[in-house]
Amino acid sequence: MTSHTWNAREHSQTRRRQKSTTAKVLILNFAFLIVVAGFGFYANSLVLLASAIHLIADTVGLAIAYIAILLASKPVSLKYSFGLVRAEVIGALVNGTILLATSIWIVVEATKDFVHPHPVSSLPVILLGIIGLLVSATSVRALHLSSGKSLNMRAGVVHMAGDAAGWLLTIVSGLAIWIFAFNRADALGSIVISLLIVISSWRIVASTVSVLLESTPGEISLDEIRDAVASDPNILDVHHLHLWNLASDTIALSTHILMEDGTTLHLAQIKVQEIKNMLKSSYGIDHVTIEVECHSCGDIDHETGK
């Protein structure tokens, strides 16, 4: 079995695992959303309603993530020669944008409520906070175990982790209202929750934009790659080196290598395969395209065939 075939099978298994996990977490959070929204109106609690809105964003985000995984799993075609692997990046971008927008809106509304607090029924807030913390913690663990390097899945983890922190603050807010009659704790908890999620979602948005702009992956040094390829004594120069993400968990590279004049096609092919194996094992680079040259680019003799 070739490394490319093994790689494709490994990716397929990862996508199936991510699809199954996302579907289960989506159903769990949708059911809990109905409960939280109902109790939020019953308790007249802004922090519960804020959590319900975040759950709506999470549910929509998980639905987007699920659809993105389905699209990313589709095979390549004549129109999409790389398949639809970037669907998960677009899904993560949409998720992050939804989180940013809803969190900012909640901060604005909670600020108004902090100035003019309203009575809140504390016991439903505490009870739902405890249940919500358990639901979110379970969701975070499930998504994290199957996320790999996927930005789409990481966005889901951020959604759920933000909710877990939010539910913890919800419990604290409920206790403050119950023990000290501090109704402003409801609005204060909402503001803190939303600001935490703004920070996390901004990082996701920045990462997805970086992938879409085909920037060099932050965890890999282009100079280090160049030095590693050029370390072979048969390779005289490495140029036109490009490194980018096809998707958040799929790195691509293309480069030109200049080999000694008179190098046979057989030796060139051996060297290319050695470089591909090294890039895969050392840096996890999946898609590699290498153009072998026996003359420098722009060499007059090379261009005219002299």
Question: What was the pLDDT predicted at 10?
Answer: 56
- Looking at the 3D structure of the chain, how many domains does it have? 2
For residues 195 and 288, state if they share a domain.
no
CATH of the domain at 288: 3.30.70.1350
User: Do the Cβ atoms of 140 and 164 come closer than 8 Å?
Assistant: yes
Q: Does 254 score more than 90 pLDDT?
A: yes
For residues 29 and 158, state if they share a domain.
yes
Residue 257, helix vs strand vs coil: strand
Mean per-residue pLDDT, 135-141:
84
User: Do the Cβ atoms of 239 and 255 come closer than 8 Å?
Assistant: yes
Q: Which of 83-92, 134-143, 244-253 has the lowest mean pLDDT?
A: 83-92
Kindly state the DSSP code that residue 117 receives in the 8-state scheme: -
pTM, 2 dp? 0.65
User: Do the Cβ atoms of 217 and 245 come closer than 8 Å?
Assistant: yes
Q: What is the percentage of the chain residues whose pLDDT exceeds 70?
A: 82
CA 273 to CA 221: how far, in whole Å?
Answer: 21
Q: Does 150 score more than 90 pLDDT?
A: no
Residue-range definition of the domain harbouring residue 259: 222-304
Q: Which residue has the higher pLDDT, 219 or 50?
A: 219
For residues 206 and 256, state if they share a domain.
no
Q: How many CB atoms lie within 10 A of CB 74?
A: 13
Strand partners, 290: 255
Is the residue at 217 inside a domain? no
Question: What was the pLDDT predicted at 170?
Answer: 79
Q: Nearest CA to 255 among 269, 238, 232?
A: 238
CA 206 to CA 89: how far, in whole Å?
Answer: 11
For residues 191 and 227, state if they share a domain.
no
User: Do the Cβ atoms of 44 and 118 come closer than 8 Å?
Assistant: yes
Q: Which residue has the higher pLDDT, 139 or 72?
A: 139
For residues 283 and 205, state if they share a domain.
no
Helix (H) or strand (E) holding 50: helix 46-72
Mean per-residue pLDDT, 90-100:
80
Q: Which residue has the tokens 């909640």?
A: 106
Q: Going edge to edge, which strands form the sheet with 235-247?
A: 235-247, 250-259, 287-293
Question: What was the pLDDT predicted at 8?
Answer: 52
For residues 203 and 63, state if they share a domain.
yes
Biggest CA–CA distance in the chain, Å, is: 91
Average pLDDT over all residues of the chain:
79
Residue 150, helix vs strand vs coil: coil
Mean per-residue pLDDT, 60-67:
75
Domain endpoint, select from 168, 193, 212? 212
For residues 65 and 142, state if they share a domain.
yes
Question: What was the pLDDT predicted at 238?
Answer: 93
For residues 208 and 234, state if they share a domain.
no
Q: Does 118 score more than 80 pLDDT?
A: no
* Phi, psi of 251, deg, nearest 5: -100, 140
Q: Nearest CA to 225 among 210, 242, 212?
A: 242
Domain endpoint, select from 162, 189, 212? 212
Domain endpoint, select from 212, 236, 265? 212
Is the residue at 110 inside a domain? yes
